[in-house]
Amino acid sequence: MLGQPEEKRSALEKKVFIKGRQETLDDVLTLISNIVVMGRYWITIDATTTKVDYPFVLKLLVELADILSSAEFREFESKFKSVCPFMAHTLISYIFDLFRQFVKLAQNPHVIRVVKVSNVIPLKYIETALLMHVDLLHQLKLCVATGSVQHLFATAPLTFPTFCPGLAR
C-alpha cells in the first residue's frame, strides 16, 4: 500500500524474543500496563477535555487487568502457582492471540478501506476478538468462583518450554 520499491524495503527479522519475564501475575499486569502506556501514543489526546477515548483493544486489556488485579484472582493465583507455573505465560499468550486479531485487521486492505470510508469498524470484523475476550473473562471468573484451574490452566501452552525454559523443567 505504501508503494515503496522492493529494493528499499528492509528484511523482516523473525527472531523470537524469549527474555521477557513470564513468571508471576505481576509480570502479566506489567505487560498490560506497558501496552496501555504505548497505546496512548496511538491516539491524540486533547488537553482541553478530560474525556479520553482509548482504542478498543486497550479497553479490552484494561478490563482484563481489572480482573487479574482483583484480590480474588490474586488469591486464586497464589493458591495454584505451584501447580500451574505456566499461568502467567498462558495469560500472556492469550493476550498476544487477542492482539493478533486486531493486527490481522490492520493488515487487511479491504478492512482498512471500509474503516476509512465509514470511520467505524463493523462488528463482523472484531467478532472473533470479542469472543476470545469474553471467553477469557468468563474462564477467569470461573477459576475464581470454583477454586479450580478449569480448562484455561489445565495444561501448559505448547510455547511454554520455549519462552520459559527455566520454569518448564
pLDDT of residue 165: 79
Range with lowest mean pLDDT among 8-22, 74-88, 103-117: 8-22
In this model, does residue 17 exceed pLDDT 60?
no
Residue 98 inside a domain? The answer is yes
Residue 78 inside a domain? The answer is yes
Residue 124 inside a domain? The answer is yes
Q: Could you tell me if 99 and 60 are in contact, meaning their C-beta atoms sit under 8 angstroms apart?
A: no
Give the H or E element holding residue 75: helix 71-80
Residue 108 inside a domain? The answer is yes
In this model, does residue 1 exceed pLDDT 50?
no
The pTM (predicted TM-score) of the whole model is 0.80
Residue 9 inside a domain? The answer is no
Residue 61 inside a domain? The answer is yes
Residue 168 inside a domain? The answer is no
pLDDT band at 11 (very low <50, low <70, confident <90, very high): low
pLDDT in tens, 107-141: 999 999 998 899 888 889 999 999 999 999 999 99
Cα-Cα end-to-end distance for the chain:
46
Of 73 and 163, the structure prediction assigns the larger pLDDT to 73
Residue 11 inside a domain? The answer is no
pLDDT in tens, 135-168: 999 999 999 999 999 999 999 999 888 888 788 7
Number of domains in the chain: 1
Q: Residue 146: phi, psi to the nearest 5? A: -95, -15
In this model, does residue 96 exceed pLDDT 60?
yes
**Domain with 33 in it:** 21-44+53-163
Query: What is the Cα–Cα distance from 38 to 143, expressed in whole angstroms?
Result: 30
